[in-house]
Homo-oligomer: A and B are copies of this chain.
Amino acid sequence: MELKNKNGLTEKEFLEIYKPGDYQRPSVTVDMLLFTVGDKNGIKIAKNHRKLAEKGLKILLIKRKDHPYIGKWAIPGGFVEISESIDDAVYRELKEETNIDNVYMEQLYTWGDVNRDPRMRVMSVSYMALVPQESLKPIAGDDAEEVRWFNVYKDKLATDEDGNDYYEFYLESDDEDKIHILYDLKESYRNIGKTKINDSTFNKATDNEIAFDHYKIINSAIDRLRNKVEYTPIAFNLMPNYFTLTELQQVYEVILGKNLISANFRRKMKDFVEEVPFKKEGLAHRPSALYKYKE
């Protein structure tokens, strides 16, 4: 059953003389969207009022130190080598740039517009992970002048009569030279056939921009993260070994961007946690039971 092709070649013969064409190929990168939940020092400087919250959803960005987009903030990542799988590449980059191991990176989407990068054709496969802020020792590398956690917000402001949704979407760093990057975001809907498609339109509202199309990637990752946290135990990646249900609830609230009712939250978490026989004491109120992740 040695099949031959129209030139009378077996597969072995075919492969021996096979030469890849010399047409142009794209470069392929992996981008890592690293999220965490951590303390927030700063306050909001945006259009609408917001209560001071003590924890915030954060994303790790690097400041580019060469063209293009020099000085702009970008999602960390790097090129996929010819001899490694895409998954291997993203875990390698994660280890190299943050020293993190043993975290599941979920593939989100592959971005393939033609002019994403002014140098050449670059496709980017984006991955996401939720990591404890402390677990990470970011290392500024060749591409990065600086590495920083940004609080990230996506709050719905309104829905118009056509069903378009308007959001305030912004990133903000806590550090002394506070950076605030604001986009006005409109999510509109159209039909292809009978399927409703979502289009996002960004208006840059501040000078401090994000490099490349990375604001689109961040926006889409937030949606995925919020969705994912609702039906998977992904948030437990952020918790220490023992934690209170209130601490866990805060993590969910920060990721979802809304307040939850504790009675309902506890009911929902019941099967995913297991009480341990000691408590968190020393505070001026009833001590809290501690729990660990179950299963």
Contacts and interface: CB of A to CB of B under 8 A. Distances in A.
Q: A interface, by DSSP: helix, strand, loop or mixed?
A: loop
A3 B71 contact: yes
A28 to B, nearest CB: 6
Contacts of A112: 28, 80, 85-87, 125
A197 B91 CA distance: 15
Interface in A74-90: 79-80, 82-87
Contact of A102 (B5, B82, B193, B234): B193
A6 interface: yes
A237 B14 contact: no
Contacts of A194: 233-234, 236-237, 293
Nearest to A132: B193
A78 B152 CA distance: 38
A27 B28 CA distance: 10
Interface of A: 3, 5-6, 9-11, 14-15, 18, 20, 23-28, 65-68, 70-71, 79-80, 82-87, 102-104, 107, 109-110, 112-114, 118-121, 123, 125, 192-197, 232-234, 236-237, 293
